[in-house]
């Protein structure tokens, strides 16, 4: 299967779980590549939110503390910089701070913006994988480079007892 | 649990901190005992979630964290991040950090059709931030079971809130609010400690 098809397959598998919900900007309304991987998901499983990345990230953490598994979607990696406090200081530190009592499981999706055939520009195409891996200690960071990785990585993200940030490549939606 | 019980607890923390027994910051409360006893006693159920800041000892005791458990945490350096799953309690040392987390927990309660509530205690500097307004607006518009309590000492560390903002916003009628002036400094006890 191709890159985008593997993403769709993974989302459909996650959607079968009773405890998952998909949350973010353009999860229920079109506007970015990630939306095209969620179109087959029941609309009741999708929560479109305002553009408030920090609040969105914190919300997902709070939902996860009470047993929901949010699939927290940020259309571009660049936008995750808007939620660094909620991600780095809170979600990523919670197991340490609570000595393992709270282990919020948030599955985060983001995408490095495509440059071909359209170049999204310097604010929409950055790859922050290396610095974010160095900042995060409790959150797994996975770069989705090949189609065959995708489904097993989302399976692992759901089955583990911590949070995972899965980084997609916008260009691969068409190339691979 | 009465006012003196809370004061005595905080006094013991003070003494153990000054003895060099606690090798991490402590943020002590005083002069807000009556307000908190009223809020917890009249409004907060044992199954509710409570989200707090770094100044949280009174809240933890009033929500049901056992005295010895709390004191042990504080002595181990966990004063700024007191937590519990039963009763449900979480605190953070970053201004505003608990707001969206509390919002998400409230949202999950609504999604799961649970009957409890979330209580979010914030200082007046946090109340003035944009993060509060995002959280408050979303919670009210979607009728989420989230209550806010603004604990107003007009200080953030030693920074005066009204002076730095050039004024303060009016607290909405559906947000609990009380004012107090603590006898303790922002952190520590005001006395020199040799660790």
pLDDT above 90 covers a percentage of chain B that reads: 96
CB atoms within 10 A of CB B189: 18
Instruction: Among A58, A89, A101, select the one facing B83 at the smallest CB separation.
Output: A101
| For residue B184, pLDDT beyond 90 | yes
Mean pLDDT, chain B, rounded, equals: 97
* Dihedral sign of CA atoms A64, A69, A70, A76 in order: positive
Q: Distance from B104 to chain A by nearest Cα, in Å?
A: 4
Query: Is B56 touching A (CB cutoff 8 A)?
Result: no
- Provide the pLDDT for residue B195: 80
Residue A85 with chain B: CB contacts under 8 Å: 94, 96-97
Interchain contact, B103 vs A85, CB within 8 Å: no
CA distance A138 to A160: 12
Instruction: Among A52, A60, A99, select the one facing B104 at the smallest CB separation.
Output: A60
Instruction: Among A59, A70, A90, select the one facing B97 at the smallest CB separation.
Output: A90
Interchain contact, B100 vs A50, CB within 8 Å: no
Question: What is the rounded (10 degree) CA torsion for B168, B169, B172, B175?
Answer: -40
Residue A64 with chain B: CB contacts under 8 Å: 104
Calculate mean pLDDT across residues B164-190.
96
- pLDDT digits 0-9 by tens, B59-89: 999 999 999 999 999 999 999 999 999 999 9
Interchain contact, B97 vs A101, CB within 8 Å: no
B151 contacts B98 by C-beta, under 8 angstroms = no
Calculate mean pLDDT across residues B134-156.
97
- pLDDT digits 0-9 by tens, B119-133: 999 999 999 999 999
Q: Distance from A159 to chain B by nearest Cα, in Å?
A: 20
Instruction: Among A52, A63, A89, select the one facing B108 at the smallest CB separation.
Output: A63
Q: Which helix (H) or strand (E) holds B146?
A: strand B146-152
* Dihedral sign of CA atoms B71, B76, B77, B80 in order: negative
- pLDDT digits 0-9 by tens, A12-34: 999 999 999 999 999 999 988 99
- pLDDT digits 0-9 by tens, B29-51: 999 999 999 999 999 999 999 99
Residue B180 backbone zone (phi > 0: left; psi -120 to 50: alpha; other: beta): beta
Interchain contact, B101 vs A56, CB within 8 Å: no
Residue A67 with chain B: CB contacts under 8 Å: 108, 112
Instruction: Among A63, A70, A97, select the one facing B81 at the smallest CB separation.
Output: A97
Interchain contact, B104 vs A21, CB within 8 Å: no
Residues of chain A with pLDDT under 50: none
Closest CA to A83 of A33, A142, A24, A14: A24
| For residue B194, pLDDT beyond 90 | no
Interchain contact, B135 vs A55, CB within 8 Å: yes
Q: Distance from B85 to chain A by nearest Cα, in Å?
A: 7
A169 contacts A144 by C-beta, under 8 angstroms = yes
Calculate mean pLDDT across residues B106-110.
98
Query: Is B69 touching A (CB cutoff 8 A)?
Result: no
Interchain contact, A61 vs B138, CB within 8 Å: no
Residue B146 with chain A: CB contacts under 8 Å: none
- Provide the pLDDT for residue A146: 97
């Amino acid at each position: 299967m191709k890159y985008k098809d593997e993403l769709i397959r993974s989302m459909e598998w996650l959607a079968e779980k009773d405890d998952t919900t998909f949350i973010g900007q353009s999860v229920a309304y079109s506007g970015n590549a990630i939306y095209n991987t969620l179109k087959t998901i029941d609309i009741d499983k999708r929560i479109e939110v305002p553009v408030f990345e920090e609040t969105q990230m914190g919300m997902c953490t709070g939902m996860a503390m009470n047993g929901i598994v949010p699939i927290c979607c940020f259309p571009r990696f660049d936008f995750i910089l808007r939620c660094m406090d909620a991600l780095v200081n809170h979600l990523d530190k919670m197991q340490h701070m609570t000595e393992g009592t709270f282990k919020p499981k948030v599955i985060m999706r983001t995408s490095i913006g495509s440059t071909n055939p359209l170049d999204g520009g310097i604010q929409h195409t950055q790859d922050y994988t290396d610095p974010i891996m160095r900042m995060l200690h409790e959150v797994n960071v996975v770069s989705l480079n090949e189609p065959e990785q995708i489904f097993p990585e989302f399976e692992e993200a759901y089955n583990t007892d911590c949070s995972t940030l899965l980084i997609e490549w916008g260009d691969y939606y068409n190339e691979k | 649990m009465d006012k003196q019980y809370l004061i005595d607890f905080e006094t013991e923390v003070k003494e153990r901190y000054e003895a060099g027994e606690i090798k991490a910051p402590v943020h002590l409360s005083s002069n807000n005992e009556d307000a908190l006893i009223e809020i917890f006693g009249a409004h907060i159920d044992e199954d509710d979630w409570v989200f707090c800041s770094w100044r949280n000892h009174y809240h933890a005791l009033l929500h049901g964290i056992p005295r010895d458990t709390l004191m042990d945490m504080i002595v181990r350096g966990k004063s700024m991040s007191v937590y519990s799953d039963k009763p449900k309690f979480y605190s953070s040392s970053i201004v505003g950090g608990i707001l969206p987390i509390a919002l998400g927990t409230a949202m999950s309660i609504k999604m799961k059709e649970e009957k409890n509530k979330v209580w979010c205690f914030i200082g007046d500097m946090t109340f003035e931030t944009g993060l509060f307004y995002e959280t408050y607006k979303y919670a009210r518009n979607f009728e989420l079971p989230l209550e806010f309590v603004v604990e107003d000492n007009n200080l953030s560390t030693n920074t005066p809130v009204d002076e730095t903002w050039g004024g303060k916003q009016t607290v909405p009628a559906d947000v609990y609010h009380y004012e107090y002036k603590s006898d303790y400094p922002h952190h520590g006890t005001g006395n020199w400690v040799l660790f």
